[in-house]
Amino acid sequence: MPVAAHFDPDSNFVMFRCSGNVAINEAKRAFDLMVTDPGVEPDAHALWDLRSAALAEKPRAIPDILEMLQNRHPVRLRGKRVAILVSEEHGANVSTLVEKSAPKSLALRVFSSYADAASWLTGNEI
């Protein structure tokens, strides 16, 4: 499965784990299902784990993910934190792309450490 989504009530965030070649339609479908799932807390944050996604797709996928986050379910996402988790060797490129493209209405950060991303999503400043 290219996009697997899981809500962890203890940490209060949804993890979207992407693997292989992920089409934006697959990401949108997983995102829509989790955002509208009544079992997911309305104040849940999101973590997009792109470490296992095809390396060539990551930079091209970032604008699509940002557009999806900005335009799909904007009321539900207002005030939420979104972390993008990438492997270290791609961190700087993805961080730069996100900084240039991210909507100002979204608290969005790129991490190469799961522990740092999870800590930031729970409200800590990293």
- 10-residue stretch averages of pLDDT, the chain, 126 residues long: 85 89 82 86 88 65 76 78 82 71 80 93 88
Tell me, what DSSP letter sits at residue 112?
Answer: S
Give residue 114's pLDDT: 93
Residue 52 lies in a domain: yes
Residue 126 lies in a domain: no
Question: At 56, which CATH number?
Answer: 3.30.750.24
Give residue 101's pLDDT: 75
Give residue 25's pLDDT: 83
Give residue 113's pLDDT: 93
**Which pTM was predicted?**
0.82
How many residues does this entry show for the chain? 126
Domains identified in the chain, total number: 1
Structure tokens belonging to residue 75:
């009321």
Q: Is 122 helix (H, G, I), strand (E, B) or coil?
A: coil
* Kind of pairing between the strands at 107-111 and 13-20: unpaired
Give residue 120's pLDDT: 94
